[in-house]
Chains A and B, each alone.
Chain A
Amino acid sequence: MRLALVLGEVGQGLRRNLSMVVSVVLVTFISLTFVGTAILLQAQINQMKSYWYDRAQVAVYFCTDFSSVGTCNQTAATPEQVAAVEAQLDSATLAPFIDAYYFEDRDQAFENFQTQFEGNAIASLVTPELMTEAYWVNLVDPTQSQILADALSGLAGVESVVDQRSYLDQIFDILNASSFTAIGIAALMLVAAALLIATTIRLSAFSRRRELGIMRLVGASNRFIQTPFVIEGVVAALIGSILAAGAVVAIVEFFVQGYLSQTLPQTSFVGLDDALLVVPVLLGVGALLAALSANVAISRYLRV
């Protein structure tokens, strides 16, 4: 009986304010799509970080006849100097941090270069003499590259010690910036959604002020008076949340999985399982936001 009455009131309110309800649906839809995208972007960044950081190596480059950087003086590193570096890598101080390492001589470097830049004009200009000898080191903990840099960069014949992660960090910075932009837009849109829900509920309450007055007069409990309005807001916001969830799942299914991972097969992308994890978050945020702002909006009508 009471449930039917409450639901009847909700239906009446939704119909009476249809245009406002549609705008609430649209604004929550857009804002929560941004929220979902931001969450997925963060997940993507973390996934790529853990994938690439594990593969990132530290390169110990040796001097060539052409370099004047570091300890180099336009003379190539001698085999003794290379051996000294290897001795350092094997020493008791550095060995515990190192997972594996290998030496890449000029010919190997040249070969790698040729395959990497195949078809590029630069490939034909480079000769093996221009290439740099290097030790490629995999660390046990990839974040501790500074130890290697400190220990080796002062040694004779070492041009530089480079952590590949420094290249990756630039890419991640860009991705992070776009993720934060999405979060910022999402936050602004959520504020707009909350205000719009509050306005809609206030409008709905105003159009029912006669009923509200009588309800208060005859002693309807506050909970009974406010429940239809809260449900009204939550229903509108939930429709928007469901649309947003659908949009997020569609983006992952058709754009990320259907297009991006076909184009860039080596990279691992967020999958449908990640998107499905985001769905309850979106529904929860939408419902909570609506319930809170509707509650605040209606409380004015309940004050004694």
Chain B
Amino acid sequence: MIRFDEVTKVYRGTAKPALNSVSLEVLSGEFVFMVGASGSGKSSMLRLVLKEDRPSSGAIHVLGQDLNRISSRKIPYFRRNLGVVFQDFRLLPNKTVFANVAFTLQVIGKSKGFIHEAVPDVLAMVGLEGKAERFPHELSGGEQQRVAIARAVVNKPSILLADEPTGNLDPTTSMGIMTLLERINANGTTVIMATHDAGIVDRLQRRVVELVGGRVVRDERGGGYVTQAIPHVQPDIVIPAAGPREGLR
């Protein structure tokens, strides 16, 4: 479904790579947490999956496509198979809930009939029935994130990328969002979620990929935010003793 082969990403003007020779495979239907400090490369990986950036070296395959070879004309069509959710929701403030979700279908050319069937369905699925005509500023943070999730999954993507979707939410609301993401995952969508929220990772016991300084230092199935097993550390990596990760201290 998603495969990284020795992927390195160096941003222009920086010496230290954001991703350093990362190899990773995510299978269809998996739920993967990506954890690590800010700047450890989680968002860079999500951007690379979305083909918003190209790797400095290495190959990335998503949904059977080699992202180094995909023509820029085909990128939009490739992205229709991916859903994305952000920490800051990114809703259009001057559009209603319904219009926000419908907008993504309109711009990829879906028919009016399809939109009027799909949007109420997905709003019911995320638990927002009856709020279709509200504007984003009339909703709570959790509800806004539900709109964003509805927008991401309304086109039934194979992969849902979530970049700290609970980062702005309180723990109770976060759990509601996680229940929703689990339900989406149970329906067959592969979910990759970057997060700092230890409570969520520990509770869900899913696959955990930990990044430090652009390297994968742990890839554990059914793991917590902090590993219980002996960490699978690549030998040439020196973990800073006073690093920002409280977990290893």
Contact = CB atoms under 8 A, between A and B. Distances in A.
A219 B112 contact: no
Interface string B79-107: 11010100000101100000000011011
Interface in A205-228: 210-211, 213-222, 224-225
Nearest to B107: A220
Nearest to B115: A1
B111 to A, nearest CB: 6
A5 interface: yes
A54 B191 CA distance: 85
A92 interface: no
Contacts of A122: none
A300 interface: no
A125 interface: no
Contact of A214 (B77, B82, B90, B112): B90
A192 B178 CA distance: 54
Interface residues of B, number: 26
Contact of B112 (A1, A220, A222): A1
Interface of B: 50-52, 72-73, 75-80, 82, 84, 90, 92-93, 103-104, 106-109, 111-112, 151, 155
Interface of A: 1-2, 5, 210-211, 213-222, 224-225, 304
29 contacts: A1-B112, A2-B106, A5-B106, A5-B107, A210-B90, A210-B93, A211-B103, A213-B90, A214-B103, A214-B104, A215-B107, A216-B76, A218-B79, A218-B107, A218-B108, A218-B155, A219-B77, A219-B78, A219-B80, A219-B82, A219-B108, A221-B76, A221-B77, A222-B76, A224-B107, A224-B109, A225-B107, A304-B51, A304-B72
Query: What 3 A-B pairs have minimum CB-CB distances, sorted nearest first?
Result: A219-B79, A219-B80, A220-B107
